[in-house]
Amino acid sequence: MRSLVEAEAATVEIDGTTILPPTSLEASAGQMWAVTGPNGVGKSTLLRAVGGRRPLTSGRCLLVGEEVDLRRAVHRRVLAALVDPVPIARDLTVREQIGIVADSWFGRSAVATGRTSRILEELMLSGLANRFPHQVSAGQRQLFHLALVLVRPAEVVLLDEPERHLDDHHLDLVLRVVGERVRAGATFLVATHHRTVTSTCDRVLRLG
């Protein structure tokens, strides 16, 4: 299978402190990886490095066989991530904001409209589509953030603790949606403490 993500002894140090020890992985198309371990061992840092948002002290991270560079349009299209806080507009509804993301990738088209409606249904957000983000619960806001990532095309998806604020029912829902994307050939790297998420993954990388 084609490797979509590779880390080769990827290391991050800040002011002499190692926040990501030398770490290697090779994730192929259609795989879901869990990155797990205690707090502070570098899980989120690894995802940021793979996503081109954390410079490495040594080693390298490859995206579709090339060193990741988000200045390149092809890498921006390949990669989607929910690692850092999502910028949202207080005065746009849940549907409008998801629709803007879909439009940005598919143009103002029936495809974009269909993708928006589908992800709202998949994540059980249809009933909240006309609310504003500040009018929903923490768990519903997490589903909204996931929808902003999953509505767009991507071969590689990075998720930092997607289980955050979700009960078991909604976590199962998210894992079903992610599973469909994986079976379609996408690669997911998921930083998580949750056993249910870890047990769903094809590979587990333990740090620390």
Q: What are phi and psi of 87, to 5 degrees?
A: -70, 125
The pLDDT tens digits of the residues spanning 163-196 come to 999 999 999 999 999 999 999 999 999 999 999 9
In the chain, the largest separation of any two C-alpha atoms, in whole Å, equals: 52
pTM (2 decimals)? 0.95
DSSP bridge pairs for 189: 33, 158
Structure tokens at 16: 């002499």
Estimate to the nearest angstrom the gap between the alpha carbon of 189 and the chain centroid: 7
| Per-residue b or e along 169-188, where b marks 16 or more CB atoms closer than 10 Å to that residue's CB | ebbebbbebbeebbeeebbb
Question: CA–CA separation, 143 vs 122, rounded Å?
Answer: 10
- Could you tell me the strand order of the sheet in which 17-28 lies? 17-28, 3-14, 58-63, 66-67
The pLDDT tens digits of the residues spanning 28-54 come to 999 999 999 999 999 999 999 999 999
pLDDT at 71 over 90: yes
Mean pLDDT over residues 112-116, rounded? 97
Half-sphere exposure of 154 (CA within 13 A, CB side): 26
Q: Please report how the helices 94-106 and 110-122 are oriented relative to each other, as an axis angle in degrees rounded to 10.
A: 140
Amino acid, res. 119: I
Question: CA–CA separation, 52 vs 76, rounded Å?
Answer: 10
Q: Exposed, middle or buried, 100 (CB in 10 Å: 0-12/13-18/19+)?
A: middle
pLDDT at residue 124, rounded to an integer: 97
Q: Structural domains in the chain?
A: 3-206 (3.40.50.300)
Amino acid, res. 189: L
